[in-house]
Amino acid sequence: MKKETNKQPKHVLVEGSPEALQAEINRLRMENAYLKKLNALVQAKEKSPKKTK
């Protein structure tokens, strides 16, 4: 049986508050790091020779 998860944060941040802005900065930094890693993987895959059977 799958446990349902609550996707809302435990505490609600007021938009524009320092805590909300810091949370947004952290989220964007994590997203940026993810996209950089994804881009590096795509570039490496395109650069590597294609193997066909």
Q: What is the mean pLDDT of residues 1-20?
A: 74
pTM for the full model?
0.62
Cα angle, residue 34 at apex, residues 26 and 36 outer, rounded to 5°? 115
The answer to whether residue 31 sits within a structural domain is yes
What is the domain range of residue 23? Answer: 16-47
Residue 9 belongs to some domain of the structure: no
Within a domain: 2? no
Structural domains counted in the chain = 1
Residue 49's pLDDT band (boundaries 50, 70, 90)? Answer: confident
Asked if the structure places residue 3 within a domain, the reply is no
Q: Is residue 43 part of a domain?
A: yes
5 found inside a domain: no
Of all helices (H) and strands (E), which one includes residue 42? helix 18-47
